[in-house]
Amino acid sequence: MRAFVSFVLTLALLGWGQTALATPIIFDNGSPNLETAVGSETFGSQVAENFSLVTGSTTVTGINWWGAYGNAATPPPTDDFTVAFFNDAAGQPEPTPFLGFHLGDVGRTATGDSLSGFPQFEIFAYSASISPTAFLQGVTYWVSVLNDTTADPDDDWFWATSSFFGTHAFRQGVGIPWSPTVPDLAFNLTGEAAPVPEPSTVLLIGTALLAVRVRRYRASRRTY
Ligand SMILES: [Ca+2]
Ligand SMILES: [Ca+2]
Ligand SMILES: [Ca+2]
């Protein structure tokens, strides 16, 4: 009985949550926790994050992420981003991506936030569309976001963290095997949202089912 009630509540909450989203975020790894950031350069050390998608939300059409520039904190005039997707091999990204998007300069938006204890390291938000790309539901993939700042010798790009917990992968450069490290990095994936029943319908169905169950439960007790 308790399990059934929680199932109904879960359905109701899912319904409300999905319809409240203006932007169809289909995987959310969190926004910056303002703690730190990790270097991710096309020609330098790189990081990648794991994700998996749920049923009905398996086509990615965009990515949002956050980062900062150090150590001079004088960002280059333009960015040169590449986003790449990797298959998982025993809990780490494969050495070579199966798909890459050279996005170039996608523009940056100052968030007004900076890294904890380092006000000079301002955090910027980035957003890009990619060609609709289908992924298998429930399967782990990895995404790397790399910036090429070789034109700016006193700054490199750093991907902002989103948590004290979780893990990502890093390596010292292209072709070098990946290694696990902590924590999670700030990004989300947008795409085609899963079709969700109207919340009012879900609640009505849930309430009706619950009423039937309660009536049956009472009836069964009466026979003893
Ligand atoms: Ca600079
Ligand atoms: Ca640089
Ligand atoms: Ca992670």
Question: Per residue of the chain (224 residues), what is the pLDDT tens digit?
Answer: 454 444 434 444 444 444 444 569 999 999 999 999 999 999 999 999 999 999 889 999 999 999 999 999 999 999 999 999 999 999 999 999 999 999 999 999 999 999 998 999 999 999 999 999 999 999 999 999 999 999 999 999 999 999 999 999 999 999 899 999 999 999 999 998 766 655 565 555 555 555 555 555 555 555 44
94 contacts: CB under 8 Å, gap ≥ 6: 86, 87, 88
95 CA to centre of ligand 3 in angstroms: 17
178 CA to centre of ligand 1 in angstroms: 28
Please report which ligand is nearest the Cα atom of 93: 3
Residues 106 and 156 in one domain: yes
Q: In this structure, is residue 72 part of a structural domain? A: yes
By residue range, what is the domain housing residue 5?
1-21+202-217
Q: In this structure, is residue 65 part of a structural domain? A: yes
Q: In this structure, is residue 6 part of a structural domain? A: yes
What pTM, to 2 d.p., does this model score? 0.78
Residues 112 and 139 in one domain: yes
Residues 103 and 74 in one domain: yes
Q: Which pair of structure tokens corresponds to residue 181?
A: 């490290």
Residues 51 and 152 in one domain: yes
Say whether the peptide bond before residue 183 is cis (omega within 30 degrees of 0): yes
49 CA to centre of ligand 3 in angstroms: 5
Burial class (CB in 10 A: 0-12, 13-18, 19+), 54: exposed
Q: CA–CA separation, 220 vs 145, rounded Å?
A: 59
Q: In this structure, is residue 144 part of a structural domain? A: yes
Residues 13 and 68 in one domain: no
Span 201-220, pLDDT tens digits: 555 555 555 555 555 555 55
150 CA to centre of ligand 2 in angstroms: 4
Q: In this structure, is residue 15 part of a structural domain? A: yes
Residues 13 and 37 in one domain: no
Q: In this structure, is residue 223 part of a structural domain? A: no
Q: What is the pLDDT of residue 58?
A: 93
First and final C-alpha spacing in the chain: 19
Start-end of H helices in 21-116: none
Residues 110 and 185 in one domain: yes
Number of domains, the chain: 2
Residues 77 and 3 in one domain: no
CB atoms closer than 10 angstroms to residue 223: 5
